[in-house]
Amino acid sequence: MATAVGTLPMGHEENSLWTWLTTVDHKKIGVLYGVSGFIFLLIGGLEALTIRTQLAVPNGTVVDADLFNQLFTMHALTMIFLAVMPLGASFFNYLVPLMIGARDVAFPRLNALSYWVFLSGALLLTSSFVFGGAPSGGWFGYAPLTSSEYHISSGMDFYTVGLAILGTSSLMASLNFAVTIINMRAPGLTMMRLPVFIWMTIVVNFLLILSLPVITVALIELYFDRNFSTTFFSPSVGGDPILWQHLFWVFGHPEVYVLILPSMGIVSEVLPVFSRKPLFGYAAVVFAGVAIAVLGFAVWSHHMFTTGLDTVPQMVFSATTMAIGVPTGIKIFNWLSTMYGGQIRFTVAMYFSVAFIALFTIGGISGVMHASPPVDTQQQDTYFIVAHLHYVLFGGAIMGIFSGIYYWFPKMTGRFLDEGWGKLNFWLLFVGTNLTFFPMHFLGLSGMPRRIYTYDSGFGWDTWNMVATIGSYTLAAGFLVFILNFFKTMRQEPSAPNNPWGGSTLEWATTSPPPEHDFDVIPEVRDRDPLWYDRDHNIEQPAAPEHLHIHMPPPSYFPLVLAMGLALVGVGALSHLAITGLGVAVVVYAIWGWALEPTD
Partner 1 sequence: MAAASNAAQAEHHTSAGVDNRMLLMWIFLASECLFFATLISTYLIFQGESLVGPLPGEILDIPTTSASTFVLLMSSVTMVLAVYGAQHGSKLMMKLSLLATILLGLIFLGFQVYEFRMFVHEGLTLSTNQFGSSFFLLTGFHGTHVGVGVLYLTSLLIGSTRRNGLGSDGGTHIEIAGLYWHFVDIVWIIIFTIIYLIPS
Partner 2 sequence: MRPSARALTLSAVSVIVVLILSAILWVIFAGSVDHLQTTFNPKSDNAIKIHNLYKLVWILAGIVMAAVLAITLAFSLIFRERPGGKAASHIHGNPKLEVMWTLIPVIIGILIVIPSFQVIADTTGDAPEGAIEIVATGHQWWFEFEYPAAGLVTANELHIPVGRPVEIELRSVDVIHSFWVPQLAGKVDMVPGHNNRLWFTPNERGEYYGQCAEFCGTSHANMRFRVVVESEADYIAWVAAQTLDAQPAVGELAQAGEGIATTLCAACHTIQGTSAAGTFGPNLTHVGGRGLIASGMIDNDAEGLAEWLSDPAAMKPGSKMPNLNLNSEQIEQLVAYLQGLQ
Site for partner 1 in 545-574 (CB under 8 A): 551
CA distance 202 to 5: 27
- Name the DSSP class of 550: -
Out of 144, 239, 265, 503, the only residue in the binding site for partner 1 (CB under 8 A) is: 239
Out of 36, 120, 154, 361, the only residue in the binding site for partner 2 (CB under 8 A) is: 361
**Among 419, 537, 533, 439, which Cα is nearest to 481's?**
419
Q: Tell me which stretch binds partner 1 (CB under 8 A): 210-218, 304-312, 531-539, 569-577.
A: 210-218
Q: Which is nearer to partner 1, 107 or 158 (CB)?
A: 107
* Cβ partners under 8 Å of residue 285, min gap 6: 196, 268, 279, 330, 331, 334
Please report whether residue 452 would count as binding partner 2 according to CB under 8 A.
Answer: yes
**372, interface contact from partner 2, partner 1, none, CB < 5-8 Å by kind:** partner 2
Please report whether residue 218 would count as binding partner 1 according to CB under 8 A.
Answer: yes
Would you call 104 a catalytic residue per the annotation?
A: yes
- Residues 129-148 touching partner 1, rule: CB under 8 A, are none
Please report whether residue 553 would count as binding partner 2 according to CB under 8 A.
Answer: no
* Catalytic position from the list 75, 109, 193, 415: 75
* Cβ partners under 8 Å of residue 52, min gap 6: 436, 468, 469, 472, 473
**Among 404, 410, 76, which Cα is nearest to 268's?**
404
Please report whether residue 238 would count as binding partner 1 according to CB under 8 A.
Answer: yes
Q: Tell me which stretch binds partner 2 (CB under 8 A): 203-211, 325-333, 422-430, 477-485.
A: 325-333
How far is the CA of 191 from the CAs of 115, 174, 452, in angstroms? 27, 18, 48
Q: How far is the CB of 137 from partner 2 (least distance, A)?
A: 8
**Contact (CB, 8 A) for 375 and 300:** no
- Listed in order, strand segments (DSSP E) in 139-200 are none
Burial 93-125 (b: 16+ CB within 10 A, else e): bbbbbbbbbbbbbbbbbbbbbbbbbbbbbbebb
Out of 129, 138, 206, 431, the only residue in the binding site for partner 2 (CB under 8 A) is: 138
Please report whether residue 502 would count as binding partner 2 according to CB under 8 A.
Answer: no
**Contact (CB, 8 A) for 113 and 559:** yes
How far is the CA of 553 from the CAs of 27, 98, 178, 550, in angstroms? 13, 16, 20, 10
Would you call 528 a catalytic residue per the annotation?
A: no
**How remote is the C-alpha of 166 from its chain's centroid?**
13
SS3 track for 211-235: HHHHHHHHHHHHHHHHHHCCCCCCH
**Contact (CB, 8 A) for 432 and 474:** yes
Please report whether residue 223 would count as binding partner 1 according to CB under 8 A.
Answer: no
How far is the CA of 368 from the CAs of 122, 306, 311, 376, 388, in angstroms? 33, 16, 19, 10, 10
**18, interface contact from partner 2, partner 1, none, CB < 5-8 Å by kind:** none
Q: How far is the CB of 334 from partner 1 (least distance, A)?
A: 27
CA distance 515 to 583: 37
- Name the DSSP class of 169: H
* Catalytic position from the list 50, 146, 170, 174: 170
Please report whether residue 403 would count as binding partner 2 according to CB under 8 A.
Answer: no
Please report whether residue 419 would count as binding partner 2 according to CB under 8 A.
Answer: no
**Apex 295 CA angle, 290 and 301, nearest 5:** 150
Would you call 139 a catalytic residue per the annotation?
A: yes
Q: Which is nearer to partner 2, 201 or 353 (CB)?
A: 353
* Catalytic position from the list 151, 277, 303, 441: 303
Would you call 418 a catalytic residue per the annotation?
A: no
Q: How far is the CB of 536 from partner 2 (least distance, A)?
A: 10
- Name the DSSP class of 308: T
**Contact (CB, 8 A) for 399 and 356:** yes
Please report whether residue 153 would count as binding partner 1 according to CB under 8 A.
Answer: no
Q: Which is nearer to partner 1, 228 or 487 (CB)?
A: 228
Would you call 441 a catalytic residue per the annotation?
A: no
Q: How far is the CB of 424 from partner 2 (least distance, A)?
A: 19
Would you call 504 a catalytic residue per the annotation?
A: no
Please report whether residue 270 would count as binding partner 2 according to CB under 8 A.
Answer: no
**65, interface contact from partner 1, partner 2, none, CB < 5-8 Å by kind:** partner 2
Please report whether residue 336 would count as binding partner 2 according to CB under 8 A.
Answer: yes
Please report whether residue 385 would count as binding partner 2 according to CB under 8 A.
Answer: no
**315, interface contact from partner 1, partner 2, none, CB < 5-8 Å by kind:** partner 2
Would you call 169 a catalytic residue per the annotation?
A: yes
**45, interface contact from partner 2, partner 1, none, CB < 5-8 Å by kind:** none
* Catalytic position from the list 90, 160, 263, 268: 268
Q: Which is nearer to partner 2, 179 or 369 (CB)?
A: 369
What are residue 449's DSSP bridge partners?
Answer: 382
Please report whether residue 307 would count as binding partner 1 according to CB under 8 A.
Answer: no
Please report whether residue 170 would count as binding partner 2 according to CB under 8 A.
Answer: no
Task: Give the DSSP letter string of 230-273.
Answer: --SS-GGGT--HHHHHHHHHHHHHHHHHHHHHHHHHHHHHHHHH
CA distance 372 to 320: 11
Please report whether residue 521 would count as binding partner 1 according to CB under 8 A.
Answer: no
CA distance 254 to 295: 9
CA distance 92 to 181: 11
Termini Cα distance of the chain: 20
Q: Which is nearer to partner 1, 33 or 232 (CB)?
A: 232
- Residues 40-99 touching partner 2, rule: CB under 8 A, are 64-66, 69
Q: How far is the CB of 323 from partner 1 (least distance, A)?
A: 23
Residues contributing to the site for partner 1 (CB under 8 A) = 106-107, 171, 175-176, 178-179, 182-185, 189, 209-214, 216-218, 220-221, 224, 228-232, 237-240, 243, 247, 551, 592, 595-600
Catalytic residues: 75, 104, 139, 169-170, 253, 255, 257, 268, 302-303, 328, 331, 450
